[in-house]
A and B are shown apart, each in its own frame.
Chain A
Amino acid sequence: MIQIQCPNCGPRDETEFHYGGQAHVAYPENPDALSDEEWARYLFYRENTKGQYAERWSHSGGCRKWFNAIRDTVTYRISAVYPAGAPRPDIASTQAETNNAAAGGTK
């Protein structure tokens, strides 16, 4: 079981959360101007990163709020948790603070 650090509720079991896929996928500025292929690319194409991956999570079994997390897709260690809408943090600089906050866990 992974524990995820909810920004509002603190560390909770993974089962209380819902996964929301890749973070920072911007809605196209003018969807009408896109070709079918470009629209499909926006809707369905996601990165398949091995390593640090920024993704969206929702604490559906708790405060019901969305937030972003950076998770290592190999180790499952969550190295940063930050508000939805905030820019992706630089992992090297956030590593030290989040170590204290018990972010991430073991599988």
Chain B
Amino acid sequence: MAELTLVESNATSDLSALRRSPAAHLAELFEGASVEGERGVGLREIPFQTMVGLRVTQASDAAQRLEKVLGTLLPDAHGRVTAESGRSVLWLGPDEFLVVTDEDHSQLTRALTEALQADHGSVVDLSANRTTFELIGPSAREVLEKGCPLDLHPRVFKEGTAVNTNIGHVPVILWKTAPESYRIYPRSSFADYLGRWLADAMGEFAALDQFAVLETP
């Protein structure tokens, strides 16, 4: 019994060192699949982002208290993202939002839970629910278009938009953070499949690259 207690206290002292991100084993695959150049596209996992799910009625007292803690308003329409000092709030539904940030998840969750008080709604630490993929480069849109039913043309899907959709039949949140940069949030159990799917979809652009090299005399 004493031994067991000892093991526990050791483990809890630094749990973060024991964490393994859902696509950690694919890092080499991603690196190999990434392509440089004019038609390039790069893929990497951004592990362990803090994500807090909020359910609250827009413009209610509770929503205003949450907004005060967040330092930003909750987004008010489909696709919108609000941001303040490293915190982004994504619209997932009329009364559902996701806070994404790099700061400590337990502190933020506690602060938001306290702000909600006993009002109708919920604050849940969802940091382990999803992982983050970053797909960047001139061909990033073409890679996504192989498996996403949305119109991703820049005149429709603008920078700063985040939506719930599917990629390769996997439900994800897709967030266009810059003209050639997308963040993809699959649930952890889908990370392996989607990671391999994306790497496979990127293969075409690597092949073109090699072809160009062969052609040069």
Within 8 A of A (CB), among B119-166: 149-150, 163-166
- Interface residues on chain A, number (Cβ under 8 Å): 12
User: In the complex, are the beta carbons of A8 and B165 less than 8 A apart?
Assistant: no
Other A-B pairs beyond A15-B149, A62-B165, 11, CB < 8 Å: A8-B93, A9-B78, A12-B150, A61-B164, A61-B166, A62-B93, A63-B78, A63-B93, A63-B94, A63-B96, A64-B92
The answer to whether A8 and B171 touch (CB under 8 A), given A61-B165, A63-B94, is no
Contact residues of A with B, CB < 8 Å?
8-10, 12-13, 15-16, 61-65
A interface: dominant SS: loop
A-B contacts, 19 listed (Cβ < 8 Å): A8-B78, A8-B94, A9-B79, A9-B163, A12-B150, A15-B149, A15-B166, A16-B149, A16-B166, A61-B164, A61-B165, A62-B93, A62-B164, A63-B78, A63-B93, A63-B94, A64-B92, A64-B93, A65-B94
Report yes or no: B164 in contact with A63, Cβ–Cβ below 8 A: yes
Taking the closest CB of chain B, its distance from the CB of A83, in whole angstroms, is 11
Residues in B10-36 with C-beta less than 8 Å from chain A: none
Which chain A residue lies CB-closest to B95?
Answer: A65
**Interface residue count on the B side (C-beta < 8 Å):** 13
- Judge whether B149 and A12 touch: CB under 8 Å: yes
Contact A10–B78 (Cβ < 8 Å):
yes
- Closest B residue to A60 using CB positions: B171
Q: Which residues on A sit within 8 Å (CB–CB) of B165?
A: 16, 61-62
CB distance from B201 to the nearest CB of A (A): 19
CA of A24 to CA of B180 in the docked complex: distance in angstroms?
46
A13 to B171, CA, bound (A): 14
